[in-house]
Amino acid sequence: MSKLCLASASPRRRELLSMLPVSFDVQPVNIEEKRKPNEAAADYVQRLALEKADAGLQRFSEFNAFLGSDTIVTLGDEVFEKPENFDHFYSMMQSLSGVQHEVMTAVAVVKRAKRETFSCTVPTQVEFRKLSEADIQWYWNTKEPLDKAGGYGIQGLGGRFIKRISGSYSAVVGLPLCETESLLAKAELLEL
């Protein structure tokens, strides 16, 4: 029986997790990603990470533990997830243009035995430079924003819009390495 399963379809999370001393397999899971009325952003992202890990636990019996993660972008009370279409993307980019926003990534590790859960949420402050109409249209045309929380990827072409960051770069990409390693150590899943 394999020890750990990453319950995610994200190639970025797979790449980041592979940087840690842990063997794992990948099995994407589908959950409904819908924010509840009046649900705080931090509670929402943590719930999604836990639901992904739990979905893996229920669906795949060949693994001892599951890691679920989710990332959202927030500006005030507004939560920006993946853009639905160009108009939605355009509106997000206009809102983020020239201002600081917060990226929250939650991680949950659930072990099958005793249903032990280890979790954390990592906030990171990101500031965009001012974006022009041409910047927004160009970036949309690259197709990079389509599967990214907040409509941008800091590690890709969207990185050119980042003026400054305060917090965890890897959390903005999709998996906070330092905190994830700490959770895996507590869950006794590291191979050191």
Domain spans, the chain:
2-186
The catalytic residue positions are 70
pLDDT in tens, 23-60: 999 999 999 999 999 999 999 999 999 999 999 999 99
CA–CA gap between residue 162 and residue 174 (Å, rounded) = 16
CA–CA gap between residue 141 and residue 13 (Å, rounded) = 24
pLDDT in tens, 111-170: 998 889 999 999 999 999 999 999 999 999 999 999 899 999 999 999 999 999 999 999
Whole-model pTM: value is: 0.93
Topology of 2-186 in CATH?
Maf protein (3.90.950)
From start to end of 27-93, where are the E strands?
63-75, 78-80
